[in-house]
Amino acid sequence: MRLLIIADTHLPKRARALPDEVWRRVDEADVVLHAGDWVSVDLLDELETRAARVIGVYGNNDGAELRARLPEVARADLGGVRFAVVHETGAAKGREQRCARDYPDTDVLVFGHSHIPWDSTASTGLRLLNPGSPTDRRRQPFCTYQTARVENGAIADLELHSLPPRTGMPRR
């Protein structure tokens, strides 16, 4: 099972559209996980039309229309791996311990909010992933997203992808 992991797209405030490379990954993926801050419901509509399956949550910048359609926390068993998706996990300090406590029946927690790529594992075995943002790099050198596979009940081939700089992109 092929996964595309994205968050913090902030469309159309930070970009007019997802980069073409990300759309190609949507077409290849069996599941797209989006960890919130869509901003416009148009992206959700387009992903639901184009992607094989979308698992998403709302973020702090998402309004009533997105909150009416998306949960704060989404959970799914994908090929025997228990995923949870949430937008915010709080401060980086103590994140693994806090999330292990808050998501005890989860193998992989996907989160967003910071726009900072993250891959760590709590002492309980909980894996925490943040794909960064494909449209708003903030203080990061590149815009990013993640891909992975679920194979034999485990996450495999996790890769962080950096997108080439785009002209006219807002700087933060």
What structural domains does the chain harbor?
Answer: 2-162 (3.60.21.10)
pTM for the whole structure? 0.94
Task: Please give the pLDDT value at position 15.
Answer: 85
What is the CA 29 to chain-centroid distance, rounded?
13
pLDDT of 167: 46
Task: Enumerate residues 6+ apart whose C-beta is below 8 A from 117.
Answer: 130, 131, 132, 140, 144, 146, 160
CA distance 154 to 79: 8
Walking along the chain (172 residues) 10 residues at a time, the average pLDDT comes out as: 98 89 98 97 97 98 98 98 98 96 97 97 97 93 97 97 71 47
Contacting residues for 55 by C-beta, under 8 A, at least 6 apart: 31, 32, 33, 34, 74, 76, 83, 85
pLDDT at site 14: 78
pLDDT at 166: 67
pLDDT at 29: 98
Place of tokens 């007019």: 16
Interatomic CA distance for residues 132 and 98, integer angstroms? 20
